[in-house]
Amino acid sequence: MPIPNLDPFDDSAPTRLARMGVTDTLGKPNSEILPVFAGIFSALFYEQSMDCYNNPAVVSSIATSLSAMNDRCGYEQMFVFLCLQYDAIHIPIPDPVWWIAGNTEVVREFMTIFAVRLCELASAKGADP
C-alpha cells in the first residue's frame, strides 16, 4: 500500500508531532524534547550537506546565513531558507521537519535550536566524524 502524501497543514501532522513527543496534545512545543529533535535534524543536515558539497566552508556559510537570519528576518524565513537548502542538495525535507511547518511555535523553537547547533557543528571546521 503506498504511503499517502502528508501535508503539514492537515489534521494528521499535529497528531504525529504529539505522538513523537515534539508537542503536547494541544500542539504546544515540548521544550524537553525539542532540543534533541532539532539537534538530530541539524546534525543530519550537516552530514548531508558535507556529503554533497565536500567543503566545510560552504556548510559554514549556510550555517552563518541561517544564524544571521534569526536576527534579521525571523523564524519563518529561516524555515524557508532551510527548505531551499534541502532542495539545493537534492534531498527531500525529512517528514518530521516538514510536519512542523504548520505550527509556528514549534518552527520558532526548532529553527533557533537548529541554527545554533548547525553553527556549532560548522565551527568544528570539519572535525573527524
Using CA atoms in the order 21, 114, 118, 32, what is the torsion angle rounded to 10 degrees?
-40
pTM over cut 0.85: yes
Domain presence at residue 27: no
Domain presence at residue 129: yes
pLDDT tens for the chain, 129 residues: list them.
Answer: 555 555 555 678 889 999 999 999 999 999 999 999 999 999 999 999 999 999 999 999 999 999 999 878 889 999 999 999 999 999 999 999 999 999 999 999 999 999 999 999 999 854 444
Domain presence at residue 13: no
Note down the domain range covering 111: 45-129
* Count of structural domains, the chain: 1
The closest of 22, 3, 46 to 99, measured between CA atoms, is: 22
Domain presence at residue 39: no
Query: Rounded CA gap, 97 and 67, in Å?
Result: 18
Domain presence at residue 40: no
Query: Rounded CA gap, 39 and 45, in Å?
Result: 10
Domain presence at residue 3: no
Domain presence at residue 50: yes
Domain presence at residue 9: no
Q: Are 75 and 112 in contact (CB under 8 A)?
A: yes
